Amino acid sequence: MLEGKNSQFYLDGEPFQILSGAIHYFRTVPEYWEDRLQKLKSLGLNTVETYVPWNLHEPRKGTFHFTGIADIEQFMKLADQLGLYVIVRPSPYICAEWEMGGLPSWLLQDKDIIVRSSDPVYLYHVESYYRELLPKFLPYLYQNGGPIIAMQIENEYGAYGNDHSYLSFLKAQYKKYGLDTFLFTSDGPDFIRQGSLPDITTTLNFGSKVDQAFQELESFKPGSPKMVAEYWIGWFDYWTGRHHTRDAWDAASVFKEMMDKKISVNFYMFHGGTNFGFMNGANHYDVYYPTITSYDYDSLLTENGEITEKYKAVKEVLNEYRTTPDDYVSDIKSRSYGSVSLKESTSLFNVLDQISDRSEYLTPLSMEEIGQSYGYTLYKTQVHRSGELTMSTENIHDRAFIYINGNFQMTVYKNDWENQVTLSFPNDRNVLEILVENMGRANYGEHLTDRKGITKNLWIGEQYFFNWEMYAIEMDRLPHDYALEKEERYPKFFRGTFDAEGRQDTFIQSEGFTKGNIFINGFNLGRFWNTAGPQQRIYVPGPLLKEKGNELVVLELEGTSAAGVQLLDQPSWSTIEV
């Protein structure tokens, strides 16, 4: 087993330096797991690390999912077959710029729940989830002949709270299910005192200032084994921001410093991957920063798995200390498939019966209250007054399109400096519709319980209006009828087909479209927002394609004059912040 003593790690009694890379199985299609792991091994690393997102594995309370992209056991088997060790971080919360930090949104149906604490209601849900999850790891522990050498208790908890009873509960869960393995916590150097347990190894997360960070650890836990659980070699991107990059040799030089000191390292990220569907998170500090679809992270492999100059620089450093394997030659290629004409279209309002679930209540309910996790919610009521009425948008999360009597009025956004708008109602009886987009729940910090939709009844013209219809549009169903012409207003679905000889990776350039989602053969690739950037093309993994007759659907929220999209062989980034 792995042990930590005398400032270093030991495996089976011998000194051992963990050289690890982060690969999130849930951000890469399963057909590419082996390719990414082979490239990790050929770099010269001995371990792969992954988070485990609760909301992927229990998307509905009591409904568990461990197949396809959620098949963590198959991911671990592949790592084991390649001779790699595995570090698993299955805490209820993972951050990871992932939707709600991995916590399932259905937790927020209880308005009084206190997440990431010893609140009995929260612990009940954690325990029922762990009853399904934790026994899956037992056969894969190192002492049972498997690859798992270490597991994390909670993730960067010191940057959130100080409820050590909660951390002790999680530790006890591991013991309950026989997971007798090396346990650790991880935090930034400034938060290790709040996020650690006395008898559990503390690891650090940082991107530079090695000596300063480990001086802090040594003063807190003298003689502790030294490991960087997250060595940040890049950074994530958010809409309206720039594409973050870090110089390859800057990242490699800090790694060399750690190699000189025999510090164990986990590269975050070795391979970032993609926030498919609606699984991007958001950070909410001074304003709300929703994460983009790509999780490229400027890591050692690109979003589509190509070796980077940073990878080569790190391998050059490693070659100074040990002999590294030959480079892995991958047969995965990217290809341009040309133009795809999108000849069919229909308004979202035409197909509500095909793509949504309808409910009614006296007041508008949040997404969570109507059992919706992601996507869009359409709210509809009648306003029995005419004239110009003011309305607060403070309780609309995150971005919404407002219509009166079927006519678009305005877009409002969580980041608007002004949260009062004036609406003009022309008739004595008017239909008010508000289509709200959940752009990603906060994954870090004080706004973690980030309820979406309309979270409180709207005060319009100094009164409330009651009796609301709500349409939950999770985009788990797409329209099957494009012949309807009743409505022409946006949002609209556009559909076309194309062939993909060789089923190779490609990138969708949707220039001329504004904002929305793109689907390939029913699979939600993620969001695009071309006027915000920095991401300008959406990655399509080859295994999602068919040789003939691929269906491509674009949900355009705002408006477009484009007649189609381009399938190209490279990603593209804008360089200017919006």
Query: What 3 state SS string does 503-565 have?
Result: CCEEEEECECECEEEEEECCEEEEEEECCCCCECEEEECHHHCCCCCEEEEEEECCCCCCCEE
Strand, helix or coil for residue 466: coil
In degrees and rounded to multiples of 5, residue 141 shows phi and psi of -65, 150
Contact 545, 500 (CB under 8 A): yes
Contact 42, 84 (CB under 8 A): no
Task: Please name the residue that has the structure tokens 């996507």.
Answer: 375
List the catalytic residue out of 49, 156, 216, 368. 156
List the catalytic residue out of 97, 99, 230, 368. 230
Token duo for residue 72: 């963590």
Task: Please name the residue that has the structure tokens 């009648």.
Answer: 382
Contact 491, 471 (CB under 8 A): no
CB atoms within 10 A of CB 208: 14
Q: Could you confirm whether 437 is annotated as catalytic? A: no
Rounded CA-CA distance 422/141 in Å is 61
Token duo for residue 536: 């300008």
Query: What 3 state SS string does 46-71 have?
Result: CEEEEECCHHHHCCECCECCCCHHHC
Token duo for residue 42: 């050929």
Rounded CA-CA distance 369/161 in Å is 26
Q: Could you confirm whether 230 is annotated as catalytic? A: yes
Task: Please name the residue that has the structure tokens 């409904």.
Answer: 63
| H/E element, 176 | helix 164-176
Contact 506, 568 (CB under 8 A): yes
Residue among 567, 565, 575, 504 nearest 535 (CA): 575
String of DSSP letters for 195-254: H--TTSEEEEEESS-HHHHHHHHHHHSTTPPPEEEEEESS---BTTSPPP---HHHHHHH
Rounded CA-CA distance 221/319 in Å is 32
Residues acting as catalytic residues: 156, 230
